[in-house]
Amino acid sequence: MVVDDDTDVLTAVRLLLKSEVKEIITEKNPELILSILKEKQVDLLLLDMNFKSSVNTGNEGIFWLQKIKKLYASLPIIMITAYADIDLAVKSLKLGATDFMVKPWQNDKLLENIKLILKDCSFVRKADVQRVSSTQLIGSSEAMKEVFYKLEKIAPTDANILILGENGTGKDLLAEAIHQKSLRSKQPFVKVDVGALSESLFESELFGHKKGAFTDAREDRMGRFEEANGGTLFLDEIGNITPTQQSRLLTVLQNRYIIPLGSNQKINLDIRLICATNVPISVLGDERRFRRDLIYRINTVEINVPPLRERQGDIALLAHHFAKVYGEKYGKPNIAFSKEAMLKLEQYRFPGNVRELQYAVERAVIMSEAAQIEAKEIFFSPIEQTSNYDEHEDETNLMQVERSAILKAIERHNGNISRAAKDLGITRTALYRRLNKHEL
C-alpha cells in the first residue's frame, strides 16, 4: 500500500512494482488508511511524511505512523519524504518505521529495500521449526508444543485469555499470534501496558475523552477499547493495576460498553480480550491483591508460557534465529556459533528468559570479529544474574534481600524510579538513598 498526496508518485510506484508484487493499493488521503487496513491484508506500507505542500515538518506522517503502529504493530512501514532530514528519519525509526526513503529515490535501491523487508517478514513463516505467523514465537520443545496446541485450539474462538509467564518469555508474541490465527485477524490488534498507566491516565487512555473533559483535554481522543473494536485488545501487566482500576475495568467488561470522559454517549464494544501478567495465578488469586470476579472475566482460558530454563532444547533454535536477524542488521550475514559458544549458551539458566538470550546474541554478533561467534564473545547480563539471585542462593543476608528487591522493582518498571518506588512502598527519595547505599 502506498499513501501519498502526489498522484505522480503513486503512478511511479505502481509502474515500478506492478511486476514485483501481487497487488498495489494507492491512496491520496491519509484519513482513509485505517479503514483500508481493516479491509485489506497489507504486507508493506509506504507512507508520505508531508501531505501539505506548504509544510515540511513531517508531523503529519509521524502522526499517522504512530496511529498505525498502535493498531498494527507488526506492519512494516517505509516513510517517504522530499526532504532529507536526518533528525526526522531517526525520529520515525524510533517510533517504529522500518525504513526511510528520500524522494526522488533510485528505483533499484527502493526495490532492494522492499524485497529485504518482505523477505525478513516471511522468514519466520517459512522456517523449518514450528513458529507462529510472522512473530518470533519459536520452539520445538515439549513445553512449547503444549503452548502451540492450546494456541491452535483457542485462537479461532472468542474466549478471553490470560497469559501467564515470567518477564521475557514472549507473552506479547503469543498474544499477537493468537490474534493472527483468530477470526479477527484482519481487524485491529491493540496493545496496552496497563501496569504502567497512572490513576489519572487510566480511564482516558482506555476509554477515551471529549475535548474539555479535563484541563489538558484539548481535543477528542479515542480510547484503546474503541480502537480495538472488532479486533483484539491486549492488556499487558494486568496484575499490576490498582483496586480502583480493577473495579473500573470489571464494570466495562460486564456492561460491554464504554462512556468516554466528558461524554454521556455509550459506545458498544465488540472485542476479544487477551491479558498477560508475570504474577503467578496463586498470587493473583489473593483477594487482597486482585478481585477474583475480574480474574474470572479475563480468564476463560489460561496459557502458561514456560521459562527458557524449562525449554532447554529451544536455546539453539532461538540463538540461530537471533544470529540471522542481527547478522543481517549489522552486515554479518551467515554468522554462526562455534561448538564452545553454543555449549556456553545451552549450559546457562537464562533468568531473563528469551529476552536475555536475544540481547546476548545481539552483543555477540556485534563483538564478533569473524564469521563464527566464539564463547569468549558471549556475555550474560549482570542485572539478570543479580535480580534472580534468590533462585541460586539462600538469601539470609538482609542487605542482599533489599538489593535484590530494588533491582527487581526497577527492572519490572523498565528503569522508572517513581513507579519502582511506588511498587516497593517507599518514596522516590528513599529509593535514591537505598540506591546510593547499595552503590547501584
Give the per-residue pLDDT at 125.
Answer: 35
- Tens digit of each residue's pLDDT (9 = 90 or more) over 413-426: 767 788 888 888 78
CATH of the domain at 424: 1.10.10.60
Q: Which of 359, 380, 401 is the last residue of a domain?
A: 380
CATH of the domain at 372: 1.10.8.60
CA 72 to chain centre: 10
Q: What is the pLDDT of residue 387?
A: 47
Look at residue 420 and give its three-state secondary structure.
helix
Contacts of 128 (CB under 8 A, 6+ apart): none
Question: Mean per-residue pLDDT for 285-305?
Answer: 91
The answer to whether residue 140 is domain-embedded is no
Look at residue 191 and tell me if it is in a domain.
yes
pLDDT tens digits, one per residue of 337-377: 999 999 999 999 999 999 999 999 999 999 998 889 999 99
Higher pLDDT, 54 or 204: 204
Q: Let me know whether 371 and 397 are in one domain.
A: no
The reply to whether 265 and 359 lie within a common domain is no
Both 201 and 315 in one domain: the answer is: no
142 domain-assigned:
no
Task: Using DSSP bridges, classify how beta strands 301-304 and 161-164 pair: parallel, antiparallel or unpaired.
Answer: parallel
Digit-coded pLDDT (tens) for 57-67: 667 888 888 88
- Among 74-83, 128-137, 353-362, name the one with the lowest average pLDDT: 128-137
Q: What is the pLDDT of residue 394?
A: 40
pLDDT at residue 56 is higher than 60: no
Residue 426 phi/psi, 5° resolution? -130, 170
Domain span at residue 203? Answer: 148-305
Residue 128 confidence class, pLDDT cut points 50, 70, 90: very low
Between CA 294 and CA 276 the distance in angstroms is 13
The residue out of 380, 405, 424 marking a domain boundary is: 380
The CATH code of the domain that includes 39 is 3.40.50.2300
What are the Cα distances from residue 400, in Å, to 54, 307, 423?
Answer: 61, 24, 18
User: Would you call 39 exposed, middle or buried from its count of C-beta atoms within 10 A (0-12, 13-18, 19+)?
Assistant: exposed
Residues 155 and 226 reside in one and the same domain: yes
Average pLDDT estimate for 33-57? 78
Residue 212 lies in a domain: yes
Residues 258 and 403 in one domain: no
Question: Residue 30 carries which DSSP code?
Answer: G
160 and 78 in one domain?
no
Contact 390, 404 (CB under 8 A): yes
Q: What angle do CA 225, 171, 317 make, to 5 degrees?
A: 145
- The answer to the question of residue 133 being in a domain is no
Shared domain check, 403 and 364: no
115 and 206 together in one domain? no
pTM: 0.60
In this structure, which amino acid lies at residue 110?
L
Residues 219 and 343 in one domain: no
**56 class by beta-carbon count within 10 Å (0-12 exposed, 13-18 middle, 19+ buried):** middle
143 assigned to some structural domain: no
Lowest mean pLDDT among 99-113, 160-174, 263-277: 99-113
> Hey, is 154 helix, strand or coil?
helix
Residue 308 DSSP one-character state: G
Name which residue leads in pLDDT, 283 or 275.
275
134 neighbors 301 (Cβ within 8 angstroms): no
What is the tally of structural domains in the chain? 4
Q: Tell me what pLDDT residue 390 has.
A: 43
Both 321 and 417 in a single domain?
Answer: no
- What band does 130 get if pLDDT is binned at 50, 70 and 90? very low
